[in-house]
Amino acid sequence: MKKIEFFKKKSFLIKNLFPKLKFKNNFKVNGIRSLEKSKKNDLTFFDSIKYKHLALNTKASLCITTEKLAKFLPQNVEKIVVKNVMSELTKILKAIYPEADIDYPDLTLKSPIKNKFKSVKFSNNVLIGNNVKIGKNSIIGANTIIEHDVVIGNNCTIGSQVVIKNSVLGNNVVIQDGCKIGLKGFGFIPLKDNNLKIPHIGNVIIEDNVEIASNCTIDRGSIDDTTIGKNSYLDNQVHIAHNVKIGSNCMIAGQVGFAGSAAIGNNVSIGGQAGISGHLKIGNSVKIGGGSGVIKDVKDNQVIMGYPAVQLKEFIKNSKK
Amino acid sequence: MKKIEFFKKKSFLIKNLFPKLKFKNNFKVNGIRSLEKSKKNDLTFFDSIKYKHLALNTKASLCITTEKLAKFLPQNVEKIVVKNVMSELTKILKAIYPEADIDYPDLTLKSPIKNKFKSVKFSNNVLIGNNVKIGKNSIIGANTIIEHDVVIGNNCTIGSQVVIKNSVLGNNVVIQDGCKIGLKGFGFIPLKDNNLKIPHIGNVIIEDNVEIASNCTIDRGSIDDTTIGKNSYLDNQVHIAHNVKIGSNCMIAGQVGFAGSAAIGNNVSIGGQAGISGHLKIGNSVKIGGGSGVIKDVKDNQVIMGYPAVQLKEFIKNSKK
Amino acid sequence: MKKIEFFKKKSFLIKNLFPKLKFKNNFKVNGIRSLEKSKKNDLTFFDSIKYKHLALNTKASLCITTEKLAKFLPQNVEKIVVKNVMSELTKILKAIYPEADIDYPDLTLKSPIKNKFKSVKFSNNVLIGNNVKIGKNSIIGANTIIEHDVVIGNNCTIGSQVVIKNSVLGNNVVIQDGCKIGLKGFGFIPLKDNNLKIPHIGNVIIEDNVEIASNCTIDRGSIDDTTIGKNSYLDNQVHIAHNVKIGSNCMIAGQVGFAGSAAIGNNVSIGGQAGISGHLKIGNSVKIGGGSGVIKDVKDNQVIMGYPAVQLKEFIKNSKK
């Protein structure tokens, strides 16, 4: 699905953005993207040896990184060498996207104009921001808020008292009452008495046929996106942090929580109240028992349970001790 | 409390519903109910030997079942013998109740007509569906949505930003802000790229004097009902899946989750964040410690804790190892 | 921050409140407060030897207590000696504050009057109760409800579909969509078939620079207040029960739950889905791993994890067994 730019962007020449540094070239920063997704004139960041393989091939023109890591970047990439990558990145994000660090309520909301959404059904008191797109035969529940620039596909059913912002939804998506989708994630640089909030410029991408039950919260990505793959179903009160990737055909039971940047494969089933730690990679066709706390990567086809989660057989054996 | 039929029902002769089968009789299907609650001309289903005792005495006229189980049904019951009972049942449910597989927002909502609810107090922007009944001296908070045919008793206090659908509430019920009650449960037949959603035609039944704190989610039953017994109290963010039965005088602390069809006795207390697996039977006067994961039936008067939950003494002993 | 009295108070002479008892003096009860916060003419309660040090120095004029504990109170305090302190206190609370035992929806809500909130930005359909104060440059999201007498500081950003009642917020506070703040906590005297609800007359106090993510629930205090200290950040779906104190500069990840009266120090970080039992004291600079169940007090600077939570080293060792 097409990524949308939801946030106002200020235009900077790199020499103005980093006045104390010298660059071989000068150009306008196009946007801030991950090592993998950056293109020419994009600024990216590289803060862990874990991403060396992506750094080696980045197409970015400018990269915030450390002295140790700089050597892995292609020669033509302009390097901003700093001690604390996230802190520097946060400052630059705030300069370029000044309105992405807090979820400022959308002041463009209005009642939907019927001519614009001819085949969409709206229940009462729906509020729609500027430039929202909603596909054919979709239906939107009462008191629901769809903020500016959101894209909703065909045949979607959005419940009541939902908020959707910074998100792109495919076709046949069902979102039940009370969900909050596309909000800023839990990201900040801790500073005594006044943390520095990390602007979140990513999207939430929800693919076709996804169903999301009531009162779930799905945060948008920070730089990259949060994605829910085709035909995955989420039960009530699931919490999905920023940058999480969920594959297709997954079943996520009630009150499951995913910490930031967890990547879940396809055909994964997760029992109620399980928690997945941040930055983990869960393979395809994994089954995770209810209440589990997953704190390590999991290979394809594993069946795990426990806190910390282990092979199901081991969990059963331990429980009998 | 009286069960209400919330969903539009299509009328079918059984010969039209199953054109390839032969039946001794032909009749209009009255409704779809459990083995236990079915009456004459009802269709039911029997998919596990666990329910043999109910099958032996069902009053249903028609039953979807397997070859192995069919023999336990009374002779006069017309049998639909299939390999996958839930899959066949889902198709029939969708044919008879075409609007119960997705929570289509109620398009009959309006501001409450004061003449109709003379002794009810409404805060601002309340929305009420067709044929809603609200008892004397009840009060409904701002932005709350009560969908068509819901019944609310006397002296109830419903908070703000609540949604109630497919539900019947007794007297003196308190529901705090943000609760979502009566939504479709997490039920579907997994199919690659496009799951088959199971229509949910059950109710949520909330008995007298129940208190439900903020942002709870209580799903309606699939065929049978979800019920909360008299004087039971639920704290914030509790998740109750479809078909759960909670007895009377229970205390359920914050963020507890119940998986589908769990049956909880009377006078049960459950500590915060505990989880109860699906289809379990928890006896009367059971105490379950906070954070427990209950994965087995529990007899009356037990005190349990842990993940998996064991006798409290054993939990304490294990913790000291 | 200044404590506000949100509830209507009935005026009683102590001789009318306790007609069967004899007192040295007669006076109007000014309010009901904790041992520590009571002043002259206040009524307090003392129900556990744990609070002996506070009882010895209370400034209250009247105290509900037991026969065993009465001797620790200063001589000039009038004593109400009972068997069940909480039960007696509940009756007196209900007499003095008749509207604090249920969250009766605010019937004074109106659209904000622009003259009154000159530098505040409101999105659509905001509802404001009587006597609400909102500081400069704050912004309030759509469909949000701010009930009577609430105080919000400067530069606050309140999201959409939020409810705030019985609360005082400092400056630069961010509250994301769907939060429910200041509701009655989970407190009652269990009585067969009809529990006695404990009136909650406390506030929620949220200090400067706090950020609270979506769909969190923060209950107000019963007698004392619930407080979130300066610059503490809460992720999505956190549940904070009545009387909880959270220090400053804390980081609370998604779906964490705090039971009633837990007291958390400064600079504490808590991983996702952890649970903190009631009445615990967690020191400063403590780190609690995700999924932990904390059931004992924790001293400063500890790093703990597990269920029940133990030193991190021990948790890792146990996990390897």
- Contact of C109 with B123, CB cutoff 8 Å: yes
Instruction: Give the strands of the sheet with C293-294, arranged side by side.
Output: C127-128, C145-146, C163-164, C180-183, C217-219, C239-240, C257-258, C275-276, C293-294
**Residue A321 reports pLDDT greater than 70:** no
| pTM for the structure as a whole | 0.97
The reply to whether B163 touches chain A by the CB within 8 Å rule is yes
Q: Write the DSSP symbol of residue C111.
A: P
Please report the sign of the dihedral spanned by the C-alpha atoms of residue A95, residue A97, residue A101, residue A103. positive
Nearest-CA distance B65 → chain C (Å): 40
pLDDT tens for C249-262 read 999 999 999 999 99
Tell me the pLDDT of chain C averaged across its residues. 96
Chains near B (3 or more Cβ pairs under 8 Å): A, C
Q: Which one of A195, A273, A275 has the shortest CB-CB distance to C290? A: A275
pLDDT digits (tens, 9 = 90+) for C183-229: 999 999 999 999 999 999 999 999 999 999 999 999 999 999 999 99
Both tokens of C102, joined, read 């249920």
Q: Are C232 and C252 contacting, i.e. CB atoms less than 8 angstroms apart?
A: yes
d(CA C176, CA C238): 12
In the prediction, which pLDDT does B1 show? 65
Catalytic residues of A: 242
Q: Is C255 in Cβ contact with B254 (below 8 Å)?
A: no
How far is the alpha carbon of B15 from chain A, nearest alpha carbon, in Å? 32
What is the C-alpha R_g of chain B?
A: 21
Per CB-CB distance under 8 Å, the chain C contacts of B249 are 190, 192-193
- Read off the pLDDT of residues A203-254 as tens digits, 9 standing for 90 and up: 999 999 999 999 999 999 999 999 999 999 999 999 999 999 999 999 999 9
User: Scanning every residue of chain C, which has its alpha carbon at the shortest distance from the alpha carbon of B122?
Assistant: C107
Q: Helix, strand, coil % (nearest 5) of chain C?
A: 10, 25, 60
* Average pLDDT of span A64-89: 96
What mean pLDDT is predicted for residues A42-63? 96
Q: At a CB cut-off of 8 Å and minimum separation 6, what does B245 contact? A: B226, B227, B229, B262, B263, B264
Residue C169 is predicted with a pLDDT of 98
**What is the model's pLDDT at position A320?**
80
Would you call A62 an interface residue with chain C, using a CB distance cutoff of 8 Å? no
Out of A161, A194, A219, name the one closest to residue C231 (CB): A194
d(CA B133, CA B296): 40
DSSP character at residue A80? E
Indicate which of C126, C160, C217 best probes the interface with A, i.e. most A CBs within 10 Å of its own CB: C160
Q: How distant is the Cα of A26 from the closest Cα of chain C, in angstroms? A: 37
pLDDT confidence of residue C319: 87
pLDDT tens profile A155-167: 999 999 999 999 9
For the record, the structure tokens of A64 come out as 């915030």
Q: How many other C-beta atoms can be found within 10 angstroms of the C-beta atom of residue B223?
A: 23
Q: Which of A178, A236, A291 sits opposite B293 (nearest CB)?
A: A291
Residue type at B39? K
Do the Cβ atoms of C259 and B251 come closer than 8 Å?
A: no
Q: Is the pLDDT of residue A180 over 90?
A: yes
Q: Which residue has the tokens 């999991």?
A: A298
Contact B103 A157 (CB under 8 A): yes
pLDDT at A319: 87
Any chain A CB within 8 A of the CB of B108? no
For residue B176, list chain C residues with Cβ-Cβ distance below 8 A: 103, 180, 183-184
**C259 contact B CB<8A:** yes
**10-residue averages of pLDDT along chain B (321 residues):** 86 93 92 95 96 96 97 96 96 97 97 93 98 98 98 98 98 98 97 97 98 98 97 98 98 98 98 98 98 98 97 92 68
Which long-range contacts (C-beta less than 8 Å, at least 24 apart) are formed by A247-253? Answer: A247/A284, A248/A207, A248/B193, A249/B190, A249/B192, A249/B193, A251/B190, A253/A290, A253/B186, A253/B259
| pLDDT on residue A114 | 86
Closest to A158 measured CA to CA, from A94, A105, A212, A199:
A212
Angle at A315 between CA A311 and CA A317, to 5 degrees: 115
- Asked if C114 is an interface residue toward chain B (Cβ–Cβ < 8 A), one would say no
Element (H, E) at B189: strand B188-189
Whole-angstrom distance, CA of residue B178 vs CA of residue C241: 16
> A163, A191, A236, A256: which to substitute to probe chain C, counting the most C Cβ within 10 Å?
A163
A127 with C121: Cβ contact below 8 A: no
Q: Please compute the mean of the pLDDT values over residues A151-178 and round it to a whole number.
A: 98
What string of DSSP letters covers C206-255? Answer: E-TT-EE-TT-EEEPPSSS-EEE-TT-EE-TT-EE-TT-EE-SS-EE-TT
* Sheet of A281-282, strand order: A133-134, A151-152, A167-169, A204-206, A226-228, A245-246, A263-264, A281-282
What letter does residue B214 receive in the DSSP assignment?
Answer: T
Task: Give the model's pLDDT for residue C201.
Answer: 97
Q: How confident is the model over B168-218, as pLDDT tens digits?
A: 999 999 999 999 999 999 999 999 999 999 999 999 999 999 999 999 999
**Residue C205 neighbours by CB under 8 Å, 6+ apart:** C1, C3, C167, C168, C225, C226, C227, C228
Contacts of B143 in chain C (CB under 8 A): 125, 127, 143, 145, 161
Residue C304 sits at the chain B interface (C-beta within 8 Å) = no
Query: Contact A104/C139, CB-based, under 8 Å?
Result: yes
**Cβ–Cβ contact C145 with B under 8 A:** yes
Q: Is A214 part of the contact surface with chain B (CB cutoff 8 Å)?
A: yes
Q: What is the ipTM of this complex?
A: 0.96
Cα distance between residue B17 and residue C147, in whole Å: 54
| Measured distance CA(A245)–CA(B103) in Å, rounded | 26
Contacts of B183 in chain A (CB under 8 A): 159, 176-177, 213-214, 236
Inter-chain residue contact B275 with A255, CB threshold 8 Å: yes
Q: Which residues of A190-214 are buried (b: 16+ CB within 10 A; e: fewer)?
A: eeeeebbbbbbbbbbbbbbbbbbbb
Determine if the peptide bond prior to B19 is cis (ω within 30°).
no
C124 contacts chain A (CB < 8 A):
yes
Mapped onto helix, strand or coil, the DSSP state of residue B294 is strand
Domains, in order of start, for chain C = 14-96 (3.40.1390.10), 166-319 (2.160.10.10)
Give the pLDDT of residue C1: 65
- Residues of A within 8 A of B277 (CB-CB) are 272, 290
Element (H, E) at A306: strand A303-306
What six digits make up the tokens of A228? 């829910």
Q: Which residue would you say has higher pLDDT here, A83 or B25?
A: A83
Question: With an 8 Å Cβ cutoff, is C319 touching chain B?
Answer: no
Supply the pLDDT for residue A1. 66
- Alpha carbons B121 and C119: distance in angstroms, whole number: 33
- Which chain A residues are Cβ-neighbours of C161 within 8 angstroms? 143, 145, 161, 163, 180
Torsion of CA B2, B3, B8, B9, to 10 degrees: -110
Closest to C252 measured CA to CA, from A195, B253, B258: A195
For residue B237, the 8-state DSSP code is T
Query: Tokens 């059971």 belong to which residue?
Result: B286
Size of interface A-C (CB pairs under 8 A): 136
Residue in C103, C161, C195 nearest the CB of B176: C103
Whole-number pLDDT of residue B319: 87
